[in-house]
Amino acid sequence: MKRWNRGDHHRKFLRTSGTSLGARDEGNAGEVLFWGEWEPPSTVALLEAPNPDYPRYLHRPFLEPRTEFAGYQNTDPFVFGNEFLYTGCQQWRGKPHGTPVQLRYLLPGSIILFGSCSDNRFLLDTVLVVRTFIDHGREDHRDVLRGAVPDAYWTVTLGPWYAGPPDGRSFRLYRGANPANTVSEMFSFFPCLRADGPTTRGFARPDLSALPFVNPRLRQGWSATKLRDVTQVSDVWQAVRQAVLAQGCELGVRAAMPPERTPSRP
């Protein structure tokens, strides 16, 4: 079993119930395999890894009841439940009195690509299309976000996020579009495969390095591409969608909320 992460952020290879779309937008419900962020505990199984791009471990996430969060990592972005959520990472440069960056001020219809750089490649794990947003800070987040996010999000993301000392910064919670609530026919998704039976090996994250709007050499941080209108934005989204499908993945549009349990002692 993997305990709640208290170190640096890491992507995990996950298995959970979910919904995916194929190349013709046909829906598939069942268990899915995908790369994503999950910092709370998980059960772990060893996988075959034919090359370094493949995962070595398979995680099944679960929710751990918790009231103290100091030192525990938050999960951001959060792809579980009915809509993807992203609330703060990289929205400011420097702290405690840093400078807000463009990620702090995105508008509906914006596309955020989450991933990792490896050997001058950008490896994708999450696409979030902004549908709505809510600004929040330490002083008012309990009031402005009440009822706007699932209960688990308070534990998994907001609890760890606001566990540190106050620093005067504010953040923007982005709520992602989904197939039932699109923005110009765009929706959020994560590359995935259907899990049919036991899982012995995973898959490599889709490589988007060939796309002209991606910077594959950005080791840490973020970069932005400003687009003229919604047609250009839609073209970018379609290019990402096609690249993911061409590399053998489906589009994961929903991951079930992990079940709650109290972890046993290791």
- Distance between CA atoms of 106 and 101, rounded to whole angstroms? 10
- Indicate whether this model's pTM tops 0.85: yes
Instruction: Name residue, tokens 């405690």.
Output: 96
Model pLDDT for residues 222-257, shown as the tens digit of each residue:
566 776 678 889 999 999 999 999 999 999 999 999
Tokens read off for 166: 């106050």
**What's the pLDDT at 59?**
98
Alpha carbon 105 to its chain centroid, in Å, reads: 19
Task: Evaluate the omega torsion of the peptide bond into residue 198 and state whether it is cis, within 30 degrees of 0.
Answer: no
201, 49 contact by CB (below 8 A): yes
* Closest alpha carbon to 145 in 163, 172, 115, 121: 172
- The residue-averaged pLDDT of 85-99 equals 87
Model pLDDT for residues 6-57, shown as the tens digit of each residue:
998 889 999 999 999 999 999 999 999 999 999 999 999 999 999 999 999 9
Model pLDDT for residues 157-206, shown as the tens digit of each residue:
999 999 988 888 999 999 999 999 999 999 999 999 999 899 999 999 99
**What's the pLDDT at 263?**
63
